[in-house]
Amino acid sequence: MFIGHFAPAMVAAAHPKAPGLGTLFVAGQLVDFGFFAFAIAGIENFRITPGITKMVPLDLYHMPYTHSLLGSGIWAAVFALLIWIFTKNRTGALIVGVVVVSHWFLDLLVHAPDLTLAGSPPKFGFGLWNYPAAEMPLEIIITFGALAFFWMKTRSTSPKSKYAIALLAVLLAVFQTINWFGPPPESANLELKVTGLISFTAAALAAWWVGRTRTLKTA
């Protein structure tokens, strides 16, 4: 799951108390931001094992702090607390927390068994990455379905809105295309980790711009 993690963010953005779309995009990928940062620091680890799943060669053998259910809950609580401190918006903070935790459940659908409840085995993962005929439509439908839902629930407040949303849609499509059809990574090197962080940041910035140019229809 890559761009599919942004689907809960775009659905949550239709709530009147939700924070901005950019914040929600960070929430949807927060534990992957954490994972790549921790991998750069050597705190968590993965390696490339061709064939570990049909679609994705990432052998995610050590990620107890970001991809355990408990760890995700802690990331969610900390991010929600920050939102509450800065906005005093309790419902908005709760929404952010739910979006952060949604990451673990979406990963659960697609990963090989590499997710834990609290950092140690048993490991869980339903392995949809072995079934591209199911995984690819699922990821496309939830992501672009959520984008269409967000589009329908909001109205433009700026003539730039259509450019912002087109940029976001193109970025999401390009990232997922490279992820699926680009050359597979040769090793879990720094370039791969930094590329991950840059792509999540670019998507969040585009989402932030979209959020700035649209408002809820009910508002």
Q: Which residues bind Zn ion (CB under 5 A)?
A: 32, 107
Residue 73's H or E segment, with its range, is: helix 69-87
Closest CA to 44 of 75, 83, 88: 75
- Cα 11 to chain center, whole Å? 13
CB of 76 to Zn ion, least distance (A): 13
Provide the sign of the torsion angle of the four alpha carbons 74, 196, 1, 58, taken in this order. Answer: negative
In DSSP terms, which residues pair with 48 in a beta bridge? 58
Complex with Zn ion: residue 67 or 214, whichever CB lies closer: 67
Complex with Zn ion: residue 46 or 208, whichever CB lies closer: 46
Ranked by CB distance to Zn ion, the top (closest) residue is 32
Complex with Zn ion: residue 32 or 59, whichever CB lies closer: 32
CB of 88 to Zn ion, least distance (A): 30
Backbone angles phi, psi at 18, to 5 degrees: -70, 145
Complex with Zn ion: residue 52 or 165, whichever CB lies closer: 52
Q: Show the tokens assigned to 192.
A: 């791969």
Complex with Zn ion: residue 32 or 135, whichever CB lies closer: 32
CB of 214 to Zn ion, least distance (A): 27
Complex with Zn ion: residue 160 or 185, whichever CB lies closer: 185
CB of 31 to Zn ion, least distance (A): 6
Which DSSP string corresponds to 86-133?
Answer: HH--HHHHHHHHHHHHHHHHHHHHHS-S-BBSSSSSS-B---GGG-HH
Q: Show the tokens assigned to 196.
A: 């991950």
Cα separation, 121 vs 94, whole angstroms: 29
Rounded alpha-carbon distances, angstroms, from residue 214 to 76, 96, 208: 26, 19, 10
- For the beta carbon of residue 77, count every other beta carbon within 10 angstroms: 14
Amino acid, res. 192: L
CB of 212 to Zn ion, least distance (A): 27
CB of 116 to Zn ion, least distance (A): 13
